Amino acid sequence: MVLNYGLKNILNKMTKNLILLILLFSRLNLLSAQNQSINLMAQPNLIIILVDDLGYEDVGFNGCKDIPTPNIDKIASQGVKFTNAYVSYAVCGPSRAGLITGRYQDRFGFGRNPLFAPNDPEMGLPLSEETLAEALKKANYKSVAIGKWHLGVHETLRPLKRGFDDFYGFLSGGHQYFPKNWTLKDEHEVKVQFDTYNTKLLRDNTRVEETEYLTDALSREAVYYIDKYKNQSFFMYLAYNAPHGPLQATQKYLNRFDTIKDQKRKTYAAMVSAVDDGVGKVLHKLEQLGLSENTIICFLSDNGGPEKKNASNNGILKGGKSDVFEGGIRVPFAIKWPAKIAAGSVYDKPIISLDIFATAIAQTSFPVETKKPLDGVNIIPFLIGEKKSIPHEYLFWRKFDVNDYTSRNAKGEKIVHRKNIDMLFDLEKDIQETTTLIEQSPQSFQNLKNSYKDWENQMLKPIFLGLGEDLEYSKLHPNRFDRDNNSKQK
Ligand code: CA
């Protein structure tokens, strides 16, 4: 009995020790698994929410009164709102080419809005350039493009050939919003430029039968792809075409704006409200999956509002879409990244859409070398006070075809060359660009002009004909829309 008792005791002790050891090992394993998952999750996800032709003052965070945008406003209130934020061009195509490459688009000849030309491998973003999706692939990101592409229709220029793993949307510069109008089965049924607005949507390379209002469909897909890639680093380029024309909204959204009597403004408001709902769904999904903290969300418009066309409102800014005045290039812009950026921040130094690329690749767990030098900079150190200097001493814009251009410095001095007239403004005191100061400050004018000329010398002429040359292009390419057209498209 004694022996038995002693054996039992020893066995008991051994079992206890064994259990302790097992527990210790599982704890160590757990810790190591946690560390691994921390490493994997260390690099943030990136979502760029690009809207189209939104007015500067048409979001709550910029003072909009008649269109509530509570979800878009959360990006600003839970992150940083920019008061001097720009895009690199005042219309859609070139602005997007700059954003997606992190480089001034004139460096590679993207100085025009591209035409819809499915057989032309040179009508779009040159293959010599690297997209943000291609760069992030080096850090094991999955990338998804949703909505408007506008960077080339030729099979070699489409999203899946430019670093994106998934695509849901359309290739052209705009689109009809109601599925009943999507009557063309593919790009070869297009007969004139604006037929492209009537094509069926694409999922990757396949035309699909979509049934939802376009903005709602894009939001649904955004939520779907966030779920699909929830367990890995992802980049989502969510490019709503709203509130770009044609002005079309569903009753659900129109009903929210019975107080707006102007029909155009009412429809525009409904379209913006649909985008805001979509942003809400995206934010909710991230929250639900526990991804909010380490996801960078950038919200911006691709250019200023064309006030007469879509009833947008650029507030006190002068001019609008396609202008070199502030109304064309200064856009509503906010970034949310709770892991790094304090809620409720405001940043008032000039930044530009080109900075998104440089900012994104600076946050990856693996160093990412870019194919070409970037014009944008990583703005995070400036936003969190690590760097006290400024991201950009100068910013530049050029409209090649009309020889309009502009440049501003960090102090707010801005030259404008428009319709062959030179102007100099002080944006700090005169944001409305009412009073030219060339006579009072000839030296400032000359300095800005010189820096602009230095910059311009590095730029290329446009490498393709643009929207303005639609007829000319069709004459030069009579088989422009034909299927299997092997004729040389030069
Ligand atoms: Ca636009």
Coarse DSSP helix, strand, coil percentages of the chain, rounded to the nearest 5 percent: 35, 15, 45
- Give the distance (Å) from ligand 1 centre to CA of residue 37: 39
Active site residue 64: no
Report the distance separating Cα 439 and Cα 427, nearest Å: 17
Which pLDDT belongs to residue 30? 42
- Give the distance (Å) from ligand 1 centre to CA of residue 305: 8
- Give the distance (Å) from ligand 1 centre to CA of residue 486: 32
Which pLDDT belongs to residue 483? 84
Residue 277 in contact with residue 240, Cβ under 8 Å? no
- Per-residue pLDDT 10s for the chain (490 aa) are 344 545 455 545 555 555 544 444 444 444 444 444 444 458 999 999 999 999 999 999 999 999 999 999 999 999 999 999 999 999 999 999 999 999 999 999 999 999 999 999 999 999 999 999 999 999 999 999 999 999 999 999 999 999 999 999 999 999 999 999 999 999 889 999 999 999 999 999 999 999 999 999 999 999 999 999 999 999 999 999 999 999 999 999 999 999 999 999 999 999 999 999 999 999 999 999 999 999 999 999 999 999 999 999 999 999 999 999 999 999 999 999 999 999 999 999 999 999 999 999 999 998 899 999 999 999 999 999 999 999 999 999 999 999 999 999 999 999 999 999 999 999 999 999 999 999 999 999 999 999 999 999 999 999 999 999 999 999 999 999 998 655 444 4
Which pLDDT belongs to residue 303? 98
- Give the distance (Å) from ligand 1 centre to CA of residue 23: 59
- Give the distance (Å) from ligand 1 centre to CA of residue 103: 18
Residue 97 in contact with residue 451, Cβ under 8 Å? no
What sign results for the dihedral spanned by CA atoms 421, 426, 432, 438?
Answer: negative
**What single-letter DSSP state applies at residue 486?**
-
**CA nearest to 243, candidates 218, 212, 267, 263:** 267
Report the distance separating Cα 282 and Cα 220, nearest Å: 9
Report the distance separating Cα 307 and Cα 287, nearest Å: 35
Phi first, then psi, for residue 100 (nearest 5°) are -80, -15
Bridge partners (DSSP) of residue 234 are: 142
**CA separation (Å) from 260 to 249, 301, 383?**
14, 23, 38
Which amino acid is located at 331 in the chain? V
- Give the distance (Å) from ligand 1 centre to CA of residue 92: 4
Count the alpha carbons within 13 Å of 278 in the hemisphere toward its beta carbon: 30
Residue 210 in contact with residue 19, Cβ under 8 Å? no
Crossing angle, helix 263-288 and helix 70-77, to 10 degrees?
50
**Tokens 């996801």 appear where?**
295
* pTM for this predicted structure: 0.91
- Give the distance (Å) from ligand 1 centre to CA of residue 238: 14
Report the distance separating Cα 94 and Cα 87, nearest Å: 10
- Give the distance (Å) from ligand 1 centre to CA of residue 220: 22
Which 3 state secondary structure label does DSSP give 202? strand
Which pLDDT belongs to residue 283? 98
Which pLDDT belongs to residue 21? 47
- Give the distance (Å) from ligand 1 centre to CA of residue 24: 59
Bridge partners (DSSP) of residue 407 are: 396, 415
Which pLDDT belongs to residue 39? 47
Residue 355 in contact with residue 378, Cβ under 8 Å? yes
Which pLDDT belongs to residue 290? 97
Report the distance separating Cα 105 and Cα 109, nearest Å: 6
Report the distance separating Cα 245 and Cα 271, nearest Å: 10
- Give the distance (Å) from ligand 1 centre to CA of residue 36: 42
Phi first, then psi, for residue 381 (nearest 5°) are -60, -30
Active site residue 150: yes
Q: Indicate which residue of 64, 150, 175, 244 is catalytic.
A: 150
The CB density around residue 233, as the number of other CB atoms within 10 Å, is 23
Bridge partners (DSSP) of residue 301 are: 51
Bridge partners (DSSP) of residue 298 are: 48, 335
- Give the distance (Å) from ligand 1 centre to CA of residue 307: 12
State both tokens at 205.
């390379």
Which pLDDT belongs to residue 443? 98
Report the distance separating Cα 153 and Cα 370, nearest Å: 25
Q: Indicate which residue of 92, 154, 298, 477 is catalytic.
A: 92
Which pLDDT belongs to residue 258? 97
- Give the distance (Å) from ligand 1 centre to CA of residue 245: 10
- Give the distance (Å) from ligand 1 centre to CA of residue 153: 18
The CB density around residue 46, as the number of other CB atoms within 10 Å, is 26
